[in-house]
Amino acid sequence: MLIQFSECGHEQSQDFLLILDTETTLEGVPAIAWDYKLGNRSALEWILDQYKEKKPKDPTIAKLFNTYNFADYKEHVIDLLQRVCTVSVQTMEIIQQMPDTVEYQGG
């Protein structure tokens, strides 16, 4: 899987292109979607990392068990990216509406 990010459109556009491979480009990925973090990575980055093709270092394992092909899961990954992008944007919009400080009133 080839992953590249680039801004699409004008300078003022805040949408990004996500190039998954030579045949597939997702357009209009909002910049705010990358702000929703799971630990130190965005949710979108996490998905992309989990589904990218990785070659095992051990040659025996690579020969016998390296059967993963991104193309076999591409439709699933695209659907998952769309869903997570929607949730990320909605979550960030909610977070932005929250007050800057929240007092903890534990007991």
Q: What is the mean pLDDT of each run of 10 residues along the chain (107 residues)?
A: 49 72 88 91 91 83 80 91 96 87 59
Residue labelled with tokens 């589904």? 51
The set of residues, in sequence order, having a beta carbon less than 8 Å from that of 32 and lying 6+ positions away, is: 14, 88, 89, 92, 93
Radius of gyration of the chain (CA): 18
Judge contact between 75 and 82, C-beta under 8 A. Answer: no
Distances (CA, A) of 16 to 22, 33, 34, 43: 17, 10, 10, 15
Q: State the pLDDT at residue 12.
A: 43
Structure tokens at 57: 């270092």
How much is the pLDDT for 11? 44
pTM exceeding the 0.85 threshold for the entire prediction = no
Determine contact, residues 88/33, Cβ cutoff 8 Å.
yes
Q: What is the pLDDT of residue 85?
A: 95
